[in-house]
Structure 1
Amino acid sequence: MSELVQKGNDTAAIQVITQGVAVCDRSNWGRIKVSDDDRLRFLHNQSTNDFQSLKSGQGCDTVFVNSTARTIDLASAYVTDDAVLLLVSPQKREFLFQWLDRYIFFADKVQLTDVTDETATLSIIGTGSDAIAEQLGAKEIIGQPHGNHISFSLGNTDNTEGIIAVGSGLASPGYTLIIPASEKEAIWQKIIENGAVPLSENAWETLRIIEGRPAPEQELTDDYNPLEAGLWQTISFDKGCYIGQETIARLNTYKGVKQCLWGIRLNSPVEAGAVIFAEDQKVGKLTSYTETSEGHFGLGYIRTKAGGVGLKVKVGDTEGEVVEIPFVSHNYPDDNAE
């Protein structure tokens, strides 16, 4: 993920999240700038969240889906005075740029610019993240809602600014920085000097699985929709038409989610893609696997009727138990309101 991260103790870096702070270089993630007058309306119509209610300085997570509501990518969006900056998964950068471009029609005032190469992204993750934000001169971002962001000075002679946004990209608390690529090394070093532990690409992947953030080509594929992936917080059910909206609305109205993404605590290693059984019945598929300091862990889709937390399962020759994962939800919105 980064030449800034040396191979080291990933276990220690992951453990520090609960009592300190780590920093991860996510510069290989895609950054697409959407600008011009119709930018909010355009993104409102192309993904699951409500963009037209957002003001400059606000942001959201949103899912891009196809016409049958199958998942393409989970992205973060940051609204500025003159653009929306999308942070998208590395493997979906080119696809999403072309996908969005395909839906810009002649009368639309929308411009797309891939700014990945000229920018960098760092995520500060852990309970100690607020102290780092303060050291970066961004104290006012502390305590703001998820997705909110402010500009902060990078402290160089050119008075260059970056943005710092609430949200680490995972379920753990933290912040995401988007800065000029030329300033990445200096900002990284400043964060390290203030006590953050470097988090490698492998450690990020382990955390992603433990916390349950779905990823393209694993949990986000043509086989699944955002409700099955537990991404309820990224979906507006009041905003009207968008690509895939009819399917998602119908699933919500009739409570038609037939499978859900869960964590699975496992007794031994398994291969992603393995079938999940419960009482000798096929109930789902394992989509991701990692080994942790506490054992073996996976993500998988399991049929709703089979059960949830506490369900005993078998994956290959390995026994396991279904557990909660903090990034996702399994409740319909009206269930939460009751």
Structure 2
Amino acid sequence: MAAQRLVTVGGPTLPIPSVTSSPCRPFSSFRSHRHHQSGAFWKRKTPTKILISLSSTSSGSKLAALPFDLSPPPIDHDLLETVTLAGAKVSDDGIIETFNNDDEALDAADNGVVVVDLSHFGRIRVSGEDRIQFLHNQSTANFECLHEGQGCDTVFVTPTARTIDIAHAWIMKNAVTLVVSPETCQSIIKMLNKYIFLADKVEIQDITKQTCLFVLLGPKSNQVMEDLKLGSLVGQAYGTHQHFSVSGMPITIGVGNVISEEGFSLLMSPAAAGSVWSTILSQGAIPMGSNAWETLRVLRGRPAPQKELTNEFNVLEAGLWNSISLNKGCYKGQETISRLITYNGVKQRLWGLCLSAPAEPGTPITLDGKKLGKVTSYASGRKESEHFGLGYIKRQTVSEGDTVTVGENVTGTVVEVPFLSRQCQPTQSSGS
């Protein structure tokens, strides 16, 4: 029997049923509803208590996957209204840009806990009997060695192994859910559909607008999960995910996120987003907008499409070793990757740069007047004097701690960045 746990947001306690109970009935504290195959979506007038229903987590048992209702919710996405009333700046296309606390949020990412709305990132659902083999052949990770409830990072590349994007994948009971960058979602969907042949039992769906995505990160994120009675995920392998219910609506929570192996990702219905957001904030998390998130991305060294991930650089130059299988057989880009490894053909690599002043992407990086590479991303730090960048530099020309010149007179110190320093080059005999 599913266990039920209450997380207090404020207001009276309501006997909200889990999705494993009989069909939901409206309460006076809810307005407008419509029943769906997997339950009911509700719009809440005021925050009450959130009921989280967990499938059995006993040793050796499998969590039963809760099916997602992929039809659009019958209500407006009220999360943006909630954060706007709280003082957040929201762009015309619905992206939360800032909560006017960027420095505080960046500090919390290093020393506390932050929550970020990444609902503008793409979500792709790959279903059908051949979905695992299909993704196995179309990207760099070994999907055939994964099981339900596990996950991984994989890279979509061109036939010559040039990078398109990193995807964060969850292996679910009836589908694989991919989280991709907002810039690449539609092009990846188009590319995947192009490679589905008549005999393939594969279906590609864009579920971005039918779902919301939050990221929780920082050294205190584990404590937040414990306080929410979700400690069963703490300490699990990267990509491990479980399905829960919030007020009768499905939510999937996974270990890690698109920027770090630490922290958690939360995928849910837009109808649940406001309540989940308020609950996380009530546990002490600091909200972070997309402006600070971009700064954090650069500081952590996570490559991004149209910047570090372009047709100019291959997947090995980007250093994405944790996403690559060297022995899984034929897949798109595999021949080029194998040749680059065999003949030591990787000509450049991605580094972090501590800069003495701002530097625009595209600015050349030189040493003793000789061009070594170029800057691909720039971000200012929490102090006016802090400047940081990412850039590709020719291999065997610099080491960590070396000083280079960026542009005409900006000094740059070459440094390792957390995201890339955790990438571990696999051996040919590994099962990755």
Displacement of 1:153 in angstroms is 2.3
Using the TM superposition, give the Cα deviation of residue 67 of structure 1 relative to its aligned residue in structure 2, in angstroms.
Answer: 0.5
Per-residue deviation, 1:281? 0.6
Indicate the RMSD between aligned Cα atoms, in angstroms. 1.6
Quick one: higher RCO (CA 8 Å, sep 6+), 1 or 2?
1
Cα deviation, residue 334, structure 1: 4.6
Instruction: Give the number of the structure whose residues are more often helix, by fraction.
Output: 1
Amino acid in the other structure paired with 2:164: I
1:68 to 160, 182, 206: 160
Contact 2:366 2:404 in 1 (8 A): yes
Aligned pairs for 1:165-184 within 5 A: 165-171=254-260, 173-184=262-273
Distance 1:237 1:137 in 2: 39
Deviations 1:38-63 (A, max 9, x none): 00000000000000111000000010
> What residue number does 1:48 align with?
140
Are the equivalent residues in 2 in contact too, given 1:137–1:153 (CA < 8 A)?
A: no
Q: Give the secondary structure class of the aligned counterpart of 1:95.
A: helix
- Residue 426 of structure 2 corresponds to 333
* 1:134 matched to 2:226: yes
Give the superposition deviation at 1:172.
Answer: 6.5
1:20 has 2:109 as partner: no
Q: Write the distance in 1 (CA, Å) between the matches of 2:166 and 2:260.
A: 14
1:235 aligns with 2:327: no
The Cα offsets for residues 286-337 of structure 1, whole Å up to 9 and x where unpaired, read as 00000002500000000002122112111112011100011114764359x9
Give the percent of matched residue pairs that are identical in Structure 1 and Structure 2: 46
Is 2:356 the counterpart of 1:267? Answer: yes
Q: Please give the TM-score of this superposition, normalised by the length of structure 1.
A: 0.95
State whether residues 58 and 149 of structure 1, in contact with CA within 8 Å, keep that contact through their aligned partners in structure 2.
yes
In the TM superposition, residue 11 of structure 1 has moved relative to its aligned partner by: 0.9
Alpha-carbon distance in 2 for matches of 1:236, 1:137: 35
Inter-partner Cα distance in structure 1 for 2:375 and 2:156: 23
Cα deviation for residue 169 of structure 1 reads 1.9
Q: How many equivalent pairs are there?
A: 332
Q: For 1:113-192, list aligned pairs within 5 A.
A: 113-154=205-246, 156=247, 159-171=248-260, 173-192=262-281
Q: Name the structure 1 match of 2:30.
A: none
Q: Which amino acid aligns with 2:416?
A: E
Q: Which amino acid aligns with 2:426?
A: P
Question: 1:308 is paired with a residue of what secondary structure?
Answer: coil
1:306 corresponds in structure 2 to: 397
Matched AA of 2:259:
L
Residue 238 of structure 2 contacts residue 261 of structure 2 at CA under 8 Å; is this kept in 1? no
CA distance in 2, matches of 1:226, 1:291: 27
Q: Which has the larger radius of gyration?
A: 2
Matched residues in 2 for 1:195 and 1:332: separation?
37
- Partners in 2 of 1:11 and 1:169 — Cα distance? 21
Kindly state the Cα deviation for residue 250 of structure 1 after the two structures are TM-superposed.
1.2
Question: 1:258 maps to which residue?
Answer: 347
Confirm or deny: 8 A CA contact 2:322 2:425 kept in the other structure.
Answer: no
Aligned 8 A contact 1:220 1:229 in 2: yes
Give the 3-state SS of the residue equivalent to 1:173 in structure 2. Answer: coil
One-letter code aligned to 1:281 = K
CA deviations over 1:17-75 (Å, ceiling 9, x no partner): 22210000000001010001000000000000000111000000010001110000111
> Alpha-carbon deviations, 1:135-181, whole Å to 9, x = none?
44422111110011011221x1xx22211111132236200111111
Residue pairs, 1:201-216, within 5 angstroms: 201-216=290-305
Identify unmatched segments of 5+ residues in structure 2.
1-78, 89-98
**Alignment pair present for 1:108 and 2:108:** no
1:134 deviates by 2.7
- Give the stretch that moved more between structures: 38-47 or 288-297: 288-297
Distance 1:296 1:255 in 2: 33
Measured in 2, the distance between the counterparts of 1:196 and 1:152 equals 21
Q: Distance in 1 between matches of 2:224 and 2:244?
A: 13
Equivalent position to 1:97, from 189, 199, 202: 189
Secondary structure in 1 aligned to 2:235? Answer: coil
Between 261-270 and 8-17, the greater mean CA deviation after superposition: 8-17
